[in-house]
Amino acid sequence: MTATPERYARSIADLTRSKKTLAGGVSSNVRLGDKPFPLFFDRGLGSHLWDVDGNEYIDYVLGRGPLLLGHTPKEVVQATVDQLWRGQIYAAQHELEYELSERVSRIIPCADLVRFGISGSEAVHGALRLARAATGRQTVLKFEGQYHGWLDNILYSLSPDPTRAGHALHPATLAESSGQFSGADSHVVVLPWNNIEVLSQYLEQHHNEIAAIITEPVMCNTAVIPPLPGYLEAMRDLCTQHGVVLIFDEVITGFRLSLAGAQGRFNIKPDLTIFGKAIANGMPISCLAGREQFMGLIAQGKVGHGGTYNSLPAAVAGAIATLDLLEKDGAAVYDTLETTGQSLMQGIRNLTAKHDIQAVIQGYGAIFYLGFPVQGANLPVGQAITDYRSSLAMDNDLYTIFVSAMVDRGVRIIPRGNWFLSSAHNQADVESTLKAIEEVFAEVIA
Ligand code: PLP
């Protein structure tokens, strides 16, 4: 399980106990893959997290993205708690709800109208349903290596087995889970990302069938791959030309890459968009937003959208408090994220050079990727990974060893290579992290 079981004695006992009644000992399958194994945590503050054995971590997992301001920022917690004492749920309208929708509509370029839910997965579900209703077409086009939630009609080709995934330019539509509804795959087309020729040719021939293109505007779920220059602009133009609904899934990039998300950072207006995670710094709320032409179908009751917990008052209060901080301190928050993240990335680059270790480091200050290529992989210097197939040149087994060794040294990172930063991370965290990396490079990897 781990090289140092005594360090995790209580977590090991907890996992053994919980597995007896909680399927796999976890509440989300992604946590099954945590290294060295699914640990149990006790509390978080700022950029730090403590497990039940009292071990302290610098946290680059950050709830897998939500904690843009770090753990338990005073203002967000206070607003949430204050609201809880005024009632947990009304299942009816409240004034904070339109305060938040007005705020989102002002901040997000395409958000004429907004609806709130709980998870990103269900907001994606709503966007796909809207696109089908608006166009009368059935098929959705997604990209290999991207993730849009765990629901049946879109859980395809996130990390497909390359021996079954078909031609790189025309990948197969592969279900990620057994038990997925067997008819759904005939209405999902998978293409490689960052390749405008393939997309353009496909739409030329099939646009009459395609209701929507759904994309992460930065491919965060594989190697934090930025869009190639002009790619998203060309995608936008193709969608307009062919009457295809463009959906930006900003569950990770939203409020993280800029206050107005990736669409603000790259200045591209999708038709529909989805936010979750960072919008409320850890409180459960998602947001489906977009142009009136589409969202109006929900307003008119033609397209169904519902949920008992939608617009949960405490989560809405948490979101407003988060946006208050992001709007008030916006420049400082985003500057800190960029400066701290870039300083860490540069420090890692220096260490890989010093220890003669091949590595790919790419992305942004607020979220970046680190991976080690397999022996003999001939990757160009610089930004090496541009799509899912080029990510297969990375050595996942070696990275897993790296992750466990880092956790043992008090730095918590995601096994898939993504590093999330918060505005609570500082230069002292960067220095301690680099010290741990240097130790791991010297003692474990080199
Ligand atoms: N879309 C993207 C890009 C995501 O990364 C995720 C989750 O990580 C989702 C959608 C699903 O969101 P949720 O886990 O809130 O259902």
**ipTM given for this complex:** 0.99
Superfamily of domain 5-72+330-445 in the CATH hierarchy: Aspartate Aminotransferase, domain 1 (3.90.1150.10)
CATH for 74-328 is: 3.40.640.10
The label of the residue with tokens 């936010």 reads: 275
Q: How far apart are CA 12 and CA 6, in angstroms?
A: 9
Residues 256-286 pLDDT 10s: 999 999 999 999 999 999 999 999 999 999 9
Average pLDDT of the chain to the nearest whole number:
96
Give the percent of the chain with pLDDT over 90: 94
Closest Cα to atom 8 of ligand 1: 149
Residues 172-212 pLDDT 10s: 999 999 999 988 899 999 999 999 999 999 999 999 999 99
For range 25-45, the mean pLDDT: 96
Nearest ligand 1 atom to alpha carbon 277: 15
Q: Is the peptide bond before 192 cis (omega within 30 degrees of 0)?
A: no
Closest Cα to atom 12 of ligand 1: 120
216 lines ligand 1 (CB under 6 A): yes
Q: Tell me the CA–centroid distance for residue 148 and ligand 1, in Å.
A: 5
311 lines ligand 1 (CB under 6 A): no
In the DSSP assignment, the letter for residue 86 is: T
Q: Tell me the CA–centroid distance for residue 274 and ligand 1, in Å.
A: 9
Residue 375 clears pLDDT 90, i.e. is over it: no
Report which residue type is found at 193: W
Domain boundaries along the sequence of the chain: 5-72+330-445, 74-328
Q: List Cβ<8 Å contacts ≥24 apart for 86-89.
A: 86/313, 87/313, 88/312, 88/313, 88/314, 89/308, 89/309, 89/312, 89/313
Residue 380 clears pLDDT 70, i.e. is over it: no
Residues 93-150 pLDDT 10s: 999 999 999 999 999 999 999 999 999 999 999 999 999 999 999 999 999 999 999 9
For range 339-356, the mean pLDDT: 97
Tokens standing for residue 321? 């408090």
pLDDT value, residue 383? 57
**Hey, which of 67, 252, 275 would you mutate to test ligand 1's pocket, going by the most ligand atoms within 8 Å of its Cβ?**
252
pTM: 0.97
Residue 330 clears pLDDT 90, i.e. is over it: no
